[in-house]
Structure 1
Amino acid sequence: MAEQLSFDLPAKPVLGRDDFFVSPANALAVAMIDSPQTWPGGKLVLTGPGGAGKTHLTHVWAAQTGAQILAAVDLSRQEIPLLAQGPVAVEDVPDIASDAPAQNALFHLHNLLMAQGQRLLMTGRLAPNLWNLSLPDLQSRVQGAAHITLDAPDDKLLAAVLAKLFADRQITPKPDVIPYLLHRMDRSFLDATRIVERLDRAALAQGRTLSRRLASESLEADDTND
């Protein structure tokens, strides 16, 4: 069968509160995001592996509070006093471990937010004591924040993540596809993302509905090529 022309269109993630599936693996993190008034000292560190839902929960919190969201690497280019007038989420803080200007900006932002009774959400993959920020005063303040982690996914959560990733790409797989994938994939969000991208390409290239047979053929072909 000749392959059809396919276009690598970007997925459109849906980041609303109702689109976030709550399971035992993330229930505590969701509860903390939903109640920022309970954060000790007005700050929270949210950690977890790639694709665990940190960005989704950050957007949920920002929608609820009117917070601004910034990548840590962009902080040195911001007007910090202006930014500190409302709640702020800073993503991927470990990325600035050797970036002195960005660390100084985050330190200044932290102090202004705390002085003004605002809220600060910071994210990263590893626990904050492993962020190795070169500015000791900033590292100590990060470690002084309440810390919540998104745990590895259970089957219900991983199934929901797969369904959401397919929906983001406007794909409706056959009902037996996700149960099949759960028994074939690594227990990680990154592998879920990788598999959905792979199956999307295969379905587009072959002009076929995403069925268990197509999933099996695609995964077996990839295993052979590895």
Structure 2
Amino acid sequence: MIKFFRKIRQRLLSENKFSKYLIYAIGEIVLVVIGILIALALNKQSNIKENNKLRDLYITQLNDEVDRNIDALNYHVDWSNNILREIDSLRNIVINKDYDNPKLLSKSHALYVSYHFKPNMVTYENLKFSGDLKLFNDLKIRNSISNAYHSFNKIKGVEEIDREAKNGFFAEYFLPYSKLIDMSKSSQNFGKDVIFENMVITRTTLLSQNIREYVNSIEALKELKTTFAEFQHDN
């Protein structure tokens, strides 16, 4: 093809048809430019398709990750509510000064047990650190992703406060005054002082905060799933 065009140019020059040669040369340049633009457009279109495929794959993986986090959070809500019911029994005992109630010892473990939420974030971390978050040019989706995964930070914060309070109480109260293997052999004064009462109130408050953050995170994750569904429906 290049030789063909070269022969035409050479023939025009040999025939002293410079004006026609100039027009032809300009036309050839225009054709080359058009060819380049078409190639760039096709390449851009191909890149868009590949990016959309990758974006849709991320949505599928994020949806799966969101489902696993929702399941885990629902479990933590149920677990925390069960512990709260145990602590509520202790609170009634302390308020009524029913210190001979066997539940004072049997349910006191609720003041130091814990079960911390460990979020699934592999897909989100890959999305964030690879720079592929730019694939989501829809601001609503990006905000929903950010809100959902940042909600885990609040959970971590309240769980950390609960952990510190629980560990401090365990070290300063349970270890000196209780016999963990057989609580019936604990100190006779166990559970009968203001320190124990304060811990009952503190743990109730902290666990309630944990549950609120679990629920808030569940709502943020569900909102993210809804946003994904709306986006896929529109696209």
- TM-score bracket relative to the smaller structure: under 0.3
Structure (1/2) with the larger helix percentage: 2
Structure (1/2) with the larger strand percentage: 1
Q: Say which one has the larger Rg.
A: 2
Output the TM-score relative to the length of structure 2. 0.22
Output the TM-score relative to the length of structure 1. 0.23
